[in-house]
Structure formats: structure tokens, C-alpha cells
Amino acid sequence: MLVRVRFPPRLLKHKMIKYSTRVAIILKNIVIKIPVTRRGYLQGVHEKRMWDKYKDTVSLAELKWMFAGIVCQKRYQNDLQNIPVNIVKAYKSKISEFDFENCDLHNPKNWGYDEQGYVLLDYGINQYIASLY
């Protein structure tokens, strides 16, 4: 399904709003991700579940709250060109939900970083949700 959302060109140019299955509104210190599809909604709900389950296992973007599929996270630097394969391998081995083909973990757009190192931003996925489209 193709979803079109119109924003003032200024906001898109400065990349303060990004969208695919969710619209991400990038503010100074936080990011709010609003689902625009059913898959986006499931991702939001699952992101909270994954945060509760794995926040002490790997470095995930701090989830401040989730309500009705809308997720609020701390904002991280997000201008990486690539992610080392050993980082992706480590996350896949620790998080069984990510251990499937076509998992989006290789995409640097889904990663950020802070002083401590890499931080995964987009973790509301599993094999079922990824299969939706």
C-alpha cells in the first residue's frame, strides 16, 4: 500500500520529518513515531515489548513512552553510513526476534549512536511484522 503524507517542503528538506511505515517527528531531544499503517502500529506496540525485554541486553534507543502504537524515544545522532557486520551479528545472536532473513538490521538508517557507541533506533520488528509488506 502506498501512503502519501504531505509536509511543508522546509520540514522535509531539513529532515525533521521522516516516514515509511511510521512518521517520525524529530524534535531537539526526542523523536515521536506515529504509525500510518497497520504494520506501523504493530511495530510501535512491539517496540515497547522489545524495550522491556531487551533494554539491559543490548543498546536500544531509550523508549520514553508508548501509547496506542505511538512511540516516543530519546533522539540520537543518526548519520551513519554503514553498520559493522559484527554489530549486526551480535544483536541477532542476542535477540531471537531479529534472527531471520531480510531483517532490516543492516540498514544504517535504523541506527544511531551516542558516546557509548551504536544504538538501535528501529527495533519494533519481528518475522511476522516484517512479512506484512
Catalog residues that contact Mg ion under the rule CB under 5 A: 110, 122
- Whole-angstrom distance, CA of residue 118 vs CA of residue 88: 10
In the range 90-129, which residues lie near ligand ADP by CB under 6 A?
109-110, 112, 121-122
Q: Does 33 bind ligand ADP (CB under 6 A)?
A: yes
- Whole-angstrom distance, CA of residue 53 vs CA of residue 46: 10
And the C-alpha cell for 133?
A: 509488506
> Is residue 124 within 8 Å of residue 50, measured between CB atoms?
yes
Coil, strand or helix: which one is 39? Answer: helix
Region of 4-12, 48-56, 69-77, 89-97 interacting with ligand ADP (CB under 6 A): 69-77
Q: Determine which residue in the list 16, 18, 49, 127 makes contact with ligand ADP, applying CB under 6 A.
A: 18
Region of 6-14, 52-60, 74-82, 92-100 interacting with ligand ADP (CB under 6 A): 74-82
- Whole-angstrom distance, CA of residue 33 vs CA of residue 23: 5
Of 47 and 122, nearer to Mg ion (C-beta) is 122
- Whole-angstrom distance, CA of residue 110 vs CA of residue 119: 9
Q: Does 131 bind ligand ADP (CB under 6 A)?
A: no
Q: Does 24 bind ligand ADP (CB under 6 A)?
A: yes
- Tell me how many residues contact ligand ADP (CB under 6 A): 19
Burial of 70 (0-12, 13-18, 19+ CB in 10 A): middle
Q: What is the binding site for ligand ADP (CB under 6 A)?
A: 18, 20-22, 24, 26, 31, 33, 43, 61, 73, 75-76, 78, 109-110, 112, 121-122
